[in-house]
A and B are shown apart, each in its own frame.
Chain A
Amino acid sequence: MRLRAEYSVGSDLRFLSTLDMMKLMARTLRRARIPFALSEGFNPHIRLSLGTVLPVGLWSKREYFDLELEQEMSCSEFVEKMNLTLPPDVKIIACIQIAATIPALMNSINCACYSFVVRKPVEEMEQWKDIVLQRDDLIVKSRGKKKDLDKNLRPGILKIEVNRWQNFAIIDIWGSIGEPLNVRYDELTELLVLTGINKEDILDVYRSGNYIRVKDKIFTPLEKVK
């Protein structure tokens, strides 16, 4: 039986690496006595795979993992047992059973949304959004493999939304992940700064979701399982 779960990572755990998160989940599965399946071989490990890497320093509203079980278990029971056992800053939000043929998260997630909480009027940020989206190129310094080379983020920016939260604006930016263009959150932060937003006015950054984009449609990994 194969499960896909959606979970959140709170602010207190934002400094965990993907490996740390993997261990946290594996140990929670053991503590919660979930009937997980093990791999074969000299070093058997739980058949658990996490979606895309959550960058160290970010918390997230929606992350994903796939898990194989050795015995049947209802999704609701799984969620309940896990949530009783997980540290307070991680919560399973939803869980569905998926077919063995569904491609792994790693190979299907190709887009993520990063959210910036900004101390600016929403109206001003709406204007900012229009200007940014009209530009043909948005050049920042690359933070990834080709460090410090100029990198044009524009083709990788799929959508921007501005919302109000208390006295602040939340800018949601959907960016492509992986090949051919990987948009990183720290590059987006630089973009904000280069386009007139003071660093001190960026109060928080988090990831609000991971998605599977097919042509122009964006699905969550829980939707795209058929």
Chain B
Amino acid sequence: MKDRLFRDILPQVSKPARYTGGEVNMIKKDWEGAQAKMVFAFPDVYEVGMSHIGGKILYGLVNEKSNHLMERSFAPWPDLEEVMRRENIPLYSLESFRPLGDFDVVGFSLQYELSITNVLNMLDLSGIPLWSSERGKGCPLVIAGGPVVFNPEPFAEFFDAFLIGDGEEVTLEFLDCVYKNREMERNELLLKLAQIEGVYIPALYQVEYKDDDTIKKMSPLVREAPIKVRRRVIEDLDQAYYPDKPIVPYMDIVHDRAVLEVMRGCQRSCRFCHAGMVYRPVRERSVGTLKKQAAAQLASTGYEEISLASLSTLDYSGVSPLVKDLVKEYGPQGTGVSLPSLRVDAFSIDLANEVQKVRKTTLTLAPEAGTQRLRDIINKNISDEQLFSAVEAAFKSGWNSLKLYFMIGLPGETEADLDGTIELIRKVKAIGDQYSRRPVEIRASLASFVPKAHTPFQWRAQNSIEELDKKRRYMMREKHRRIKLSFHDSETSYLEGVIARGDRRLAAAIYKAWEKGCKFDGWSEYFHFDHWIEALQECNIDPDFYNLRRRNYEEVFPWDFIETGIDREYLIEENERAEKGISTPDCRQEGCRDCGVCMALGVDLQIKEGYSVAVES
């Protein structure tokens, strides 16, 4: 297989280094000696998949800490797919070049709603039946994890199991169970797996609908299946496994650097933010642990950059000493530190300056909305003054371009807010022009707001494509020199919205869309909205039902059976406060807001480097 690939197949395709494996720190375990065999399948190309931290963690964990084995596979780019289909080459793993069908478990990482067509395409290329009900004896278990599976329902019929929550907490338990019961009939094995906390087996549930198409009831078909599936959560991140020897790809990947996960979770409570809700509470690693991990990773990889990742790295209580120590330790060898996202305040800029001593980075700030009123609605707790002081600090210290993130289509948004956004950008530019010798450049990215499950905005309607396009045209009506606005594609956002709050009935349309050739839907050159609309129509599904409708508090949602730990009452209260334009502070600063997570999951806030530091900074 490998010889044929290297000799005949790969020379025909673009970027062949995506498909060769054999990278530094790759782990190829003995196939016969391993217990359960799992392939980590990422439904996007190599350079995207290899940039993902979760995959690095699981790969190291399974291969280093258990007798199971994990290999990797990524979606082939359409040029290779064509050759594979023509030459009858199944999708294979990069370690042992075995077809995916040889594994016991094929585990997909779902980071993005629209990657589902790539999942189907990868299964098809592997010769594995796409529908869970069609997979029998000898077929791998097809499972999924990742942020998208907090509403797994649109994909329920394609997967045998979903793993909900922190993967390092549940994956080994899952594989142990698969291995221990390997002689069992598939159906019996699924009953066993259903009893592991955090595992959801969709075939064991039935859903009944009302006349108005909303859900009447979702209930387990067997007593082994829990009524609610509770997400798994790492209690102590500081003690949790983290890979010291991540794979170092040969080719350029999206995030080509060493990564430290300084903390998990965020409780700024931005009301639109899915990750901010489903990964609570904040659990930090200590500076000591992170420095050890940095040393080990740099020694084993030779990376020239180390990134401090999390949902809001500047909120990490130890960020200041950590950055300073890393710069001091590794700067002389030309190894830089990078902060993926900055908080909007002057403290963040000071720290960015610290980082810039070694390597110049792009400066990105995310005000999200252009007016104080709208920021209060979405609970993005920053003021104009904070933003301006951050911007001033940045330009004073020599940056001459800036990137700003906003959203459009937010609840309660009016024309005045759109004007406010433009006005804000212009003010930012004016501040820059004062301090810089030549006129500064401002790039603003405007994403479309997509209401997500498990957030306070899960009851809200999304803007229609027409509304979003109208807002875009309105904001673009005047050109401004050296201000560049870029908007997300409204059709893509619309479809994301449909799937994000979709239910089981969508599976038929997803399948049809794939049949019509949809894949790489996240890549604009491959996104065919018309195919999706046709597919939905042919299945008699009205997509507006899923995202243009304002829902009431009594409605049963497809994802209600997934227990994230957050109380429904908290989400309702936050939605009500949004309605009134009242913001809610971070629980680290002003005490518990009773979201319910710590109680429900028996966990606690973990602030490692001092509560006062966290509060002040």
Interface residue tally for chain A (C-beta within 8 Å): 27
Q: How far is the CA of A23 from the CA of B16 in the complex (A)?
A: 17
B302 lies within 8 A of A27 (CB) = yes
Query: Can you name the residue of chain B whose Cβ is closest to the Cβ of A14?
Result: B6
Interface string of B262-306 (1 = CB under 8 A from A): 000000000000000000000000000000000000111111100
Q: Would you call A16 an interface residue if the criterion is a C-beta within 8 Å of the partner chain's C-beta atoms?
A: yes
Q: How far is the CB of A94 from chain B (nearest CB, A)?
A: 23
Interface string of A19-50 (1 = CB under 8 A from B): 11001101111110000001000111110000
Q: How far is the CA of A44 from the CA of B252 in the complex (A)?
A: 19
Q: Which A-B residue pairs are the 9 nearest by beta carbons?
A: A27-B302, A30-B302, A31-B302, A15-B16, A44-B334, A15-B17, A38-B334, A20-B250, A42-B360
A87 lies within 8 A of B24 (CB) = yes
Residues of chain A from 33 to 72 with CB closer than 8 A to chain B in the complex? 38, 42-46, 56-57
A26 lies within 8 A of B304 (CB) = yes
Q: Would you call A76 an interface residue if the criterion is a C-beta within 8 Å of the partner chain's C-beta atoms?
A: no
Q: Would you call A150 an interface residue if the criterion is a C-beta within 8 Å of the partner chain's C-beta atoms?
A: no
Interface string of A114-142 (1 = CB under 8 A from B): 00000000000000000000000000000
A20/B17 contact (C-beta < 8 A), A15-B10, A43-B359 known: yes
B250 lies within 8 A of A24 (CB) = yes
Q: How far is the CA of A14 from the CA of B334 in the complex (A)?
A: 29
Q: How far is the CB of B46 from chain A (nearest CB, A)?
A: 12
Query: Can you name the residue of chain A whose Cβ is closest to the Cβ of B23?
Result: A87
Q: Would you call A198 an interface residue if the criterion is a C-beta within 8 Å of the partner chain's C-beta atoms?
A: no
Interface string of B10-32 (1 = CB under 8 A from A): 11000011001011100000000
Q: How far is the CB of A207 from chain B (nearest CB, A)?
A: 15
B6 lies within 8 A of A11 (CB) = yes
Q: List 21 A-B contacts (CB under 8 A).
A: A12-B6, A12-B22, A13-B20, A17-B17, A17-B251, A19-B252, A20-B252, A24-B250, A26-B302, A27-B24, A27-B303, A27-B304, A29-B302, A31-B300, A31-B301, A31-B302, A42-B359, A44-B359, A57-B16, A87-B22, A87-B24
Q: Would you call B333 an interface residue if the criterion is a C-beta within 8 Å of the partner chain's C-beta atoms?
A: yes
Query: Can you name the residue of chain B whose Cβ is closest to the Cβ of A57?
Result: B11
Which one of B251, B300, B335 contacts A20 once the chains associate, using CB atoms below 8 Å? Answer: B251
Q: How far is the CB of B304 from chain A (nearest CB, A)?
A: 7
Q: How far is the CB of B248 from chain A (nearest CB, A)?
A: 6
Q: How far is the CA of A12 from the CA of B22 in the complex (A)?
A: 8
Q: How far is the CB of A17 from chain B (nearest CB, A)?
A: 7
A27/B248 contact (C-beta < 8 A), A44-B334, A57-B11 known: yes
Q: How far is the CA of A13 from the CA of B21 in the complex (A)?
A: 10
Residues of chain B from 292 to 335 with CB closer than 8 A to chain A in the complex? 298-304, 333-335
Which one of B20, B299, B335 contacts A31 once the chains associate, using CB atoms below 8 Å? Answer: B299
Residues of chain B from 326 to 359 with CB closer than 8 A to chain A in the complex? 333-335, 358-359
Q: Would you call A89 an interface residue if the criterion is a C-beta within 8 Å of the partner chain's C-beta atoms?
A: yes
Interface string of A155-183 (1 = CB under 8 A from B): 00000000000000000000000000000
B334 lies within 8 A of A46 (CB) = yes
B334 lies within 8 A of A45 (CB) = yes
- What 12 additional pairs, Cβ within 8 angstroms, besides A23-B250, A89-B22? A13-B20, A14-B6, A15-B16, A16-B250, A16-B251, A19-B252, A20-B252, A23-B252, A27-B24, A28-B302, A30-B302, A44-B358
CB contacts (< 8 Å) of A27 on chain B: these are: 24, 248, 301-304
Interface string of B238-259 (1 = CB under 8 A from A): 0000000000101110000000
Query: Can you name the residue of chain B whose Cβ is closest to the Cβ of A42?
Result: B360
Q: How far is the CA of A87 from the CA of B17 in the complex (A)?
A: 15
Q: How far is the CA of A67 from the CA of B40 in the complex (A)?
A: 39
CB contacts (< 8 Å) of B248 on chain A: these are: 27
Q: How far is the CA of A56 from the CA of B14 in the complex (A)?
A: 10
Q: How far is the CB of B250 from chain A (nearest CB, A)?
A: 5
Q: How far is the CB of A205 from chain B (nearest CB, A)?
A: 10
Query: Can you name the residue of chain A whose Cβ is closest to the Cβ of B2?
Result: A12
Q: How far is the CA of A150 from the CA of B334 in the complex (A)?
A: 47
Query: Can you name the residue of chain B whose Cβ is closest to the Cβ of A11?
Result: B6
A15 lies within 8 A of B22 (CB) = no
CB contacts (< 8 Å) of B300 on chain A: these are: 31
Q: How far is the CB of B149 from chain A (nearest CB, A)?
A: 34
Q: How far is the CA of A14 from the CA of B24 in the complex (A)?
A: 15
A30/B298 contact (C-beta < 8 A), A38-B334, A46-B334, A87-B22 known: yes
CB contacts (< 8 Å) of A11 on chain B: these are: 6
Q: How far is the CA of A38 from the CA of B359 in the complex (A)?
A: 13
Q: How far is the CA of A38 from the CA of B330 in the complex (A)?
A: 13
CB contacts (< 8 Å) of B250 on chain A: these are: 13, 16, 20, 23-24
CB contacts (< 8 Å) of B20 on chain A: these are: 12-13, 15
Q: How far is the CA of A89 from the CA of B300 in the complex (A)?
A: 18
B359 lies within 8 A of A30 (CB) = no
Q: How far is the CB of A84 from chain B (nearest CB, A)?
A: 13
CB contacts (< 8 Å) of B304 on chain A: these are: 26-27, 30
Residue among B11, B248, B301, B334 with the highest chain A CB neighbour number at 10 A: B334
Q: How far is the CA of A140 from the CA of B10 in the complex (A)?
A: 25
Q: How far is the CA of A87 from the CA of B360 in the complex (A)?
A: 30
Q: How far is the CB of B609 from chain A (nearest CB, A)?
A: 29
Which one of A15, A30, A56 contacts B333 once the chains associate, using CB atoms below 8 Å? Answer: A30
Q: How far is the CB of B512 from chain A (nearest CB, A)?
A: 36
Residue among B248, B250, B301 with the highest chain A CB neighbour number at 10 A: B250
Query: Can you name the residue of chain A whose Cβ is closest to the Cβ of B3?
Result: A11
A56/B16 contact (C-beta < 8 A), A19-B252, A31-B302, A87-B24 known: yes
Q: How far is the CA of A31 from the CA of B63 in the complex (A)?
A: 22
Q: How far is the CB of B272 from chain A (nearest CB, A)?
A: 36
Query: Can you name the residue of chain A whose Cβ is closest to the Cβ of B22?
Result: A12
A16 lies within 8 A of B17 (CB) = yes
Query: Can you name the residue of chain B whose Cβ is closest to the Cβ of A20?
Result: B250
CB contacts (< 8 Å) of A20 on chain B: these are: 17, 250-252
Q: How far is the CA of A89 from the CA of B6 in the complex (A)?
A: 14
Q: How far is the CB of A75 from chain B (nearest CB, A)?
A: 21
Query: Can you name the residue of chain B whose Cβ is closest to the Cβ of A29?
Result: B302
CB contacts (< 8 Å) of A28 on chain B: these are: 302
Q: How far is the CA of A23 from the CA of B10 in the complex (A)?
A: 22
A43 lies within 8 A of B360 (CB) = yes
Q: How far is the CA of A18 from the CA of B573 in the complex (A)?
A: 57
CB contacts (< 8 Å) of B252 on chain A: these are: 19-20, 23
Query: Can you name the residue of chain B whose Cβ is closest to the Cβ of A46?
Result: B334
CB contacts (< 8 Å) of A44 on chain B: these are: 334, 358-359
CB contacts (< 8 Å) of B335 on chain A: these are: 30
Residue among A31, A38, A46 with the highest chain B CB neighbour number at 10 A: A31
Q: How far is the CA of A15 from the CA of B20 in the complex (A)?
A: 8
CB contacts (< 8 Å) of A19 on chain B: these are: 252
Q: How far is the CA of A141 from the CA of B298 in the complex (A)?
A: 47
Q: How far is the CA of A46 from the CA of B333 in the complex (A)?
A: 9
Q: How far is the CB of A87 from chain B (nearest CB, A)?
A: 6
Query: Can you name the residue of chain A whose Cβ is closest to the Cβ of B6?
Result: A11
CB contacts (< 8 Å) of B358 on chain A: these are: 44
